[in-house]
Structure 1
Amino acid sequence: MAKKKYRRSRSNSILDRKIGIKPGHLYVPTEAFVPRFFLMSFSEAMFEEQEFETYAQLLKRFKELPDARHWIDIRGYGDLQIQEQLVKDFKIHPLQMEDVINDYQRPKVDEYEDGLFMITRMLRWSEEQHSVEDVQLSVFSNANYVVTLQSDYADCLDPLRERIRAGRGVIRQRPPIYIVYAILDVVLDYYFPVIAEIGKYVDELEHSILKSSSKITLQHILDLKNELVKLRRIAWPERDKLVELLRMEEDVLPENLKVYFRDAYDHTIQLIDLIDSHKEMASSLVDLYMSTVSNRMNEIMKVLTIISSIFIPLSFIAGIYGMNFARENPETGEVYPYSMPELYQPYAYPILISLMLLLILLQLYFFYRKGWFTKSF
């Protein structure tokens, strides 16, 4: 139920926007979720994780641990006061917070006073609707914290949370910008299963076309092409965003961390190649559908042609003997010798029927030798 509610909210997000309002205007989107507040605080020597009932409790605990690194995770936009408080407490520009709330922004990255503002999009594949669902994830990073904001309660970042809890790798030792990379890496990793599911769906559609094509199948193909176009609109800005990150100064993105972002950049290139490949395959499915429909129409026309070819000579014979030419003049009694004398033969009817059957058999044999009969049926 939560997913359905969220999808309605996201589809109405554009309608929520007012025309002519001042830049940086904040509002509560229709059917927005009540915010939930999560805080991870960690260093090489300590780790603490907690969900808070109020934003004030989270902020208090955040300020009590100035030497730790923090991941502040806020899910839900349903409180205008908290939006305004975030702008004040974390020195977020109102225009950036407006982009967070208007949560169908293209992936991008911006520098602000003390850190980075990044938008990425999380993907998941819907088996029921055969469509891609995408959720915006907004990330703010600073010297000792990362703030993530999203409209939905569910996300794809649990593997990263497990790594931080377990203290695996060097994630607790790295600066917050490394957590930004880790978040982006997990998000991009989830793109590949979505692409794989699309590949399976393409194979299913191809099998369906070869088995029994219909207008419903064609509609599914066109819907899939639309989903791939949407994926491409997401993947290309992700690539551009990473290019911008790699061009940033060392005080923003240290040189020793750029290698990780280059790896993420390589992932986006792979994703774009896969999306383009599936897009071509989807286009070829349309051609396959049209070719299959055309071939089946040709088969139907061939069957109708065979049937017509059989009955044309039969109709000709029946038309000849259906003419009402009299054999005898009723007034004078004169007999006309050339007016179908065979009509009065005792075995004329069975002979004519036998002749018709023989003609049918000869035609069928002729079509069989030509290969039409076996290919049609």
Structure 2
Amino acid sequence: MASEGSFWRAVALYAALYGGYGALSPFLPAALAARGLEASQIGTLLAAAMLVRLVVGPPTGRLADRYAAVRGFLAFGLAASGGLTLGLLAGDGLAVLVVLVLIHAATSAALSPLADALVLAGRNGAAYGRIRGAGSAAFIVTTVLTGWLVGRYGDGAGLGACAVLFGMAALVTLRLPAPACPPAAGATGEFRALVAIGAFRRLVLAAALVIGAHAMHDAFAVIAWTGAGIGASAAGLLWAEAVAAEVLVFFWLGPRLLGRIGPARALELAALAGALRWAVQAQTTWLPALIAIQALHGLTFALLHLACLRILTRAVPEGLRATALTVYGSLGLGLASALVTLAAGPLYGGLGLPAFWAMSGLSLLAVPVAHRLWRDIRQDAAGHI
């Protein structure tokens, strides 16, 4: 069991990290617009920042593994990201803002995977669900509070809040125990060693299919709801319900399901829940049905994430964990979401609501992948994951 002090420091790290995201992500576009950027420039810049994160994340994890310096890389990334966020407050002119946003994307690319690697490597790993749930709860609370601050003090308030929270997270990181593993050397530090692990390949593919299927919802759900006469406040409550379900699964339901059915079966359940969720979304905007399926977000995101991390920590050697987590986050989650988002526009534009059937199909494709993973786990002579 983790010591009480170490557990609460891990909770503080996740609360500050995801609270920082909650202060920055929803309000950064408005802050850039207030500094003179046009909508097309903001869209291009944010897309470029996403590309930078996808490219920089895995090499950062690899270096953290190679030098056994997960804690140091995380603390530096948090401090640098907080400082660059403050720089955005003072930045003026297109060229300066572009440079600041892209460097910020690079320094923040691996923050979440490195935090996961740090917590999972220590005695807090058994309490990961509660720790991660605290991060999701902090995201909600900080987003609401930052909205009030922005209304009172202007668009820069979100940037200032993020900088403070990232700085706090950096300080807390330095007070957490460093993973007790030697530096990865030779082939063990190479991506090919990671790719050779079949369980890891399959969990990344399953995650890419299930999480990628969320992309159409993220882009067009509110448009579909408001187009059907659902008010903006009701749409906001539907979105909040999904995040609340995520927190519930992280804190309570997810660890219990993993203990009862195992991570591979939990991955299958997440995929089936996704198939059901998007199939209903493809057919109706009836409010009671939407209320019912938004609760499935707890399974389609939080349970999937818990299951993937449980498998990853057992299947991947500790000296490759940061690399594995950044690859999982960048390719399994980030790249898949970006690619499906690109396809979602034409699909939704051409088909409307029935386009969500394609997302249901994507989720279903993850079921045989997860089932194969379950079979591999059963056949593993070393025991179970």
Give the TM-score taking structure 2 as reference length.
Answer: 0.29
Return the structure number with greater relative CO, CA threshold 8 A, min gap 6.
2
- Computing the radius of gyration over CA atoms, which structure comes out larger, 1 or 2? 1
Greater share of helix: 2
Give the TM-score taking structure 1 as reference length.
Answer: 0.30
Greater share of strand: 1
